[in-house]
Amino acid sequence: MPRKYPHIHHLLLLWLIIGIAACKEKHTSSKGGVITLSPPPYLLSPDTVKLRKQARLLRQYAQTHGYNTKLAFLVDFSVFSGSKRFICYDLEHQRVLSSALVSHGQGPDFRAEKVVFSNVPGSRCSSLGKYRIGARYSGQFGTAYKLHGLDSTNSNAFNRFVVLHSYRAVPAVEQEQGICRSDGCPMLNPAYLASLGPYIDRANRRILLWIYR
């Protein structure tokens, strides 16, 4: 006859609790004084409900101010930088055409994953708000597009030389680690920016870019 263990279910419950606690993901860790971030799941991709809302508002703004009502670019900087948070959006049919990784400004600490926003020259920060995509030119990193800030939060963008450009260190695929930082410019993978070029260059009205969080 097998022996009975009256308290074995208590031990199993204790082991289960310990196992769950040991497997819980920590969102921040420190090693050698450098803080790294392991993002919670809700930051791994843009919120589609918020995206649709922002797109509807942007289309209304475009209609009112005479900008392109067919296509726009949206960037959700509440999303982890290793995830695709730059969205090429079809405003007419309310759908995502493509998405990509995009760098944010390094601000006061290039190691920080959280985006710091500023409109101050020399801050090296990203700026929130709506932008008109301006003239194409060939810059230090190849093809680039001037950006004109349309809100009080990004009114200095043009004078700060904040532009839409590519950079070879921006990956084409999603990453577990955060990606490189900029001096405030939204930087894209070179091949991806090249794919956007025909949309921008052939548009009969200026395309809008909206950086939000």
pLDDT tens-digit series, residues 145-198:
999 999 999 999 999 999 999 999 999 999 999 999 999 999 999 999 999 999
Q: Where are the domains of the chain?
A: 40-212
**113-152 b/e (C-beta count within 10 Å ≥ 16 → b):** bebebbbeeebbbbbbbbbbbbeeeeeeeebbbbbbbbee
Q: Is 36 helix (H, G, I), strand (E, B) or coil?
A: strand
Averaged over 200-208, what is the pLDDT? 97
pLDDT tens-digit series, residues 1-38:
444 444 434 433 443 333 333 222 222 222 333 333 44
Q: Is 96 helix (H, G, I), strand (E, B) or coil?
A: strand
| Four-way CATH pick for 40-212: 2.40.50.140, 3.90.79.10, 2.40.440.10, 3.40.50.1700 | 2.40.440.10
Residue 89 near residue 55 (C-beta atoms within 8 A) = yes
Query: How far, in Å, CA of 62 to CA of 41, rounded?
Result: 33
